[in-house]
């Protein structure tokens, strides 16, 4: 099922500032779509609007082109999959999954057939006679999905489903849940404030701030080409350098006080406009100053090493750009291939034109 959010807004009673403000997006059928942003940015509100648990103040929602804005929650075919999966402990797996079809009056044979079909879809048919407490967390999650699908769910909604799990289990469940959702082929929306969760699981991510979607794209796009400083910072560590656009078009050049930067940008900013260039720490390679620039990387800024910390997998450097007025950059090099630079050493911070994002300021 395809979902269209059409300039949807929600202001809670007695609160001036809308929790969700004119959000538009279209979610493709079968897509695993993520809403990512800090606490309070409106993710849960947007999910509840899609579910039909609350009504928008303005704007609308369409499912497969049909306006569902006024459709009550029980007629939308959406299911919020909560943290504890909420299986009934006294019922078997099969009875849990049969519950939806039973409520809608399906005959005994029909509901058994639907339930077994969905249990097979999530590879849990052989556990049909077990009780939920005889299953692992991952298996319970599968049954919960089978139950939602048997009840006619056309869209799965997840609100931070892994946030109560310990770190190791959370990592494992990420993979498991992603595989499972993609196997069902059902459209799914997943809310999280955890950028790693979003980047590792999503087909596309909508990054939210203050009730708005500030950027929408694939994990690679939002991480390596953030549109704003907020997105750059929220998704990971980022280095910045301000400058002015000296040439635009296919090859963008930005003049900064630390030197000129070449950018292979998909958007061509106006010549003369002030911009921020953003480069991720792992996209920078340090070279000794006397080695000269790396011919395979378009950019080389003069810098001085401030500190060097060994972290096992990576070595992390802080270096001061230019004469020091341009701030400090963090650089992460895989420790196995990094040869070691010492504080005070003059170096070149080198990076590809394709690894620079030009941010709106």
Residues in contact with ligand ADP by the rule CB under 6 A: 12, 15, 19, 37, 39-45
The least distance separating ligand ADP from the CB of residue 17, rounded to whole angstroms, comes to 7
Closer to ligand ADP at the Cβ: 39 or 296?
39
236 burial type by CB count under 10 A (0-12 exposed, 13-18 middle, 19+ buried): middle
Contact call for residues 189 and 203 (beta carbons, < 8 A): no
Closer to ligand ADP at the Cβ: 45 or 228?
45
User: Quick check: helix, strand or coil at residue 70?
Assistant: coil
Q: State residue 196 phi and psi, 5-degree precision.
A: -65, -40
Q: Give me the DSSP letters along 168-209.
A: HHHHHHHHHHHHHHHHHT-EEEEEES-HHHHHHH-SEEEEEE
Q: Residue number with the shortest CB distance to Mg ion?
A: 44
Q: Take residue 291 and report the two structure tokens written for it.
A: 């080695």
Q: Take residue 39 and report the two structure tokens written for it.
A: 């606490």
Contact call for residues 280 and 224 (beta carbons, < 8 A): yes
The least distance separating ligand ADP from the CB of residue 41, rounded to whole angstroms, comes to 4
Question: How are beta strands 314-321 and 3-10 bridged, if at all?
Answer: unpaired
Over the range 309-318, which residues count as b (16 or more CB within 10 Å of their CB) and which as e?
eeeeebbbbb
Taking CB under 5 A as the rule, does residue 194 contact Mg ion?
Answer: no
The rounded radius of gyration (Å) of the Cα atoms in the chain is 25
Q: What angle is formed at CA 5 by the lines to CA 2 and CA 8, rounded to 5 degrees?
A: 165
- Distance between CA 191 and CA 156 in Å, rounded? 11
Closer to Mg ion at the Cβ: 17 or 90?
17
**The entry of Mg ion, ligand ADP, none that residue 40 binds, CB within 5 to 8 Å by partner kind:** ligand ADP
Nearest to 180, CA basis, from 221, 139, 227, 150: 139
**The entry of Mg ion, ligand ADP, none that residue 101 binds, CB within 5 to 8 Å by partner kind:** none
**The entry of ligand ADP, Mg ion, none that residue 45 binds, CB within 5 to 8 Å by partner kind:** ligand ADP
The least distance separating Mg ion from the CB of residue 298, rounded to whole angstroms, comes to 42
User: Near Mg ion by CB under 5 A, which window of 38-46, 52-60, 91-99, 337-345?
Assistant: 38-46
**The entry of ligand ADP, Mg ion, none that residue 15 binds, CB within 5 to 8 Å by partner kind:** ligand ADP
Binding Mg ion by CB under 5 A: which of 44, 218, 273, 354?
44
Contact call for residues 18 and 81 (beta carbons, < 8 A): no
User: Near Mg ion by CB under 5 A, which window of 36-44, 94-102, 222-230, 300-308?
Assistant: 36-44
272-301 residues in contact with Mg ion (CB under 5 A) are none
Closer to Mg ion at the Cβ: 44 or 345?
44
Closer to ligand ADP at the Cβ: 15 or 325?
15
**The entry of ligand ADP, Mg ion, none that residue 167 binds, CB within 5 to 8 Å by partner kind:** none
User: Near Mg ion by CB under 5 A, which window of 42-50, 86-94, 213-221, 248-256?
Assistant: 42-50
Handedness of CA 51, 52, 54, 60 (dihedral sign): positive
**The entry of Mg ion, ligand ADP, none that residue 304 binds, CB within 5 to 8 Å by partner kind:** none
The least distance separating ligand ADP from the CB of residue 98, rounded to whole angstroms, comes to 33
The least distance separating ligand ADP from the CB of residue 144, rounded to whole angstroms, comes to 21
Binding stretches for Mg ion (CB under 5 A): 44
């Amino acid at each position: 099922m395809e979902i269209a959010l059409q300039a949807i807004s929600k202001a809670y009673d007695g609160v001036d500032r809308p929790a969700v403000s004119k959000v538009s997006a279209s979610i493709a059928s079968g897509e695993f779509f993520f809403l990512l942003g800090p606490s309070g940015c409106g993710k849960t509100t947007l999910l509840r609007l899609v579910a039909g648990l609350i009504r928008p103040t303005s704007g609308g929602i369409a499912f497969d082109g049909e306006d569902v804005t006024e459709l009550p929650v029980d007629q939308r075919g959406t299911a919020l999959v909560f943290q504890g999966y909420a299986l009934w402990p006294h019922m078997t797996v099969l009875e849990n999954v049969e519950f939806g079809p039973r409520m809608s009056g399906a005959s005994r044979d029909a509901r058994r057939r639907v339930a077994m079909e969905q249990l097979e879809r999530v590879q849990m048919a052989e556990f049909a006679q077990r009780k939920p407490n005889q299953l692992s967390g991952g298996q319970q999650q599968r049954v919960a999905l089978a139950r939602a699908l048997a009840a006619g769910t056309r869209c799965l909604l997840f609100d931070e489903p892994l946030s109560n799990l310990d770190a190791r289990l959370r990592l494992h469940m990420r993979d498991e849940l992603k595989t499972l959702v993609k196997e069902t082929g059902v459209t799914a929306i997943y809310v999280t404030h955890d950028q790693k969760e979003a980047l590792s699981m999503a087909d596309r991510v909508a990054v939210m701030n203050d009730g708005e979607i500030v950027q929408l794209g694939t994990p690679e796009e939002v991480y390596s080409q953030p549109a704003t400083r907020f997105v750059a910072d929220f998704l990971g560590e980022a280095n910045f350098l301000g400058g002015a656009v000296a040439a635009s078009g296919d090859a963008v050049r930005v003049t900064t006080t630390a030197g000129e930067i070449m950018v292979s940008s998909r958007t061509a900013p106006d010549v003369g406009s002030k911009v921020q260039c953003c480069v991720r720490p792992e996209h920078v390679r340090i070279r000794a100053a006397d080695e000269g620039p790396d011919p395979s990387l378009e950019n080389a800024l003069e810098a001085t090493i401030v500190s060097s910390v060994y972290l096992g997998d990576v070595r992390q450097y802080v270096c001061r750009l230019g004469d020091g007025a341009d701030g400090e950059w963090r650089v992460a090099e895989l420790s196995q291939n990094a040869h070691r630079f010492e504080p005070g050493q003059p170096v070149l911070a080198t990076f590809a034109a394709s690894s620079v994002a030009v941010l709106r300021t």
